[in-house]
Structure 1
Amino acid sequence: MGVSVADDIDVRDISPTAWRLLRVAAGFGQREVESEVEDIMQAHISMLESDTRGLSEARLEELFSLYRDELDDEQVCVLVEHF
C-alpha cells in the first residue's frame, strides 16, 4: 500500500467539526466508537467534538485510524481540509 495525502494529516490539527464529520461519514455513533476503542468513553468523543476537551495524541491517532478504515483518502482529506 502506498503513501497517501491523508498519511500527512496531523491529528492535532483536525478541528472539532471535522472530527464529528469524520465519525459520522465513517458510519459511527458516539457509543459505537466507545465499543471500538479501548478505554474511550462516549463522553470523551462528545467533548472532543465540542472542543471542550482534548485527547492524547495516541487516542487521536486511534480514532483517526478507525475512521480512515471506513473512508477513502479523498473523503478524509476533504473533511479535514474544509472543516
Structure 2
Amino acid sequence: MSSKDGQQPSSPDATAPPTVAPVSDVPPGARVHHFDELSERTQHALATASPAGSLDIDPATSRLSRGDVVVFTDYVRVK
C-alpha cells in the first residue's frame, strides 16, 4: 500500500509496543483472531486498552502480530 504521494508508508518501529486501532472492515490477507480464543492475559490487555492505545502484551509470546485483526464487539487491528 502506498500513500497519496507515492511514497511507502513508514512501518512502525518493531521495538515499540504494539497498539490497537478500531477498523470497520478486515483488510485482505489479514489474520483474524476471535477474542475468546486468545489467552487470558491477551484478552485482558485488549479489554483494558484504550480504543486507539498501546497494547500491554509481549509480541514474542502472544499469538498476535502487527496487522492482525481481533474480533469481539468491534474489530481492532494490532499495529
For normalisation by structure 2, the TM-score amounts to 0.34
More helix by share: 1
More strand by share: 2
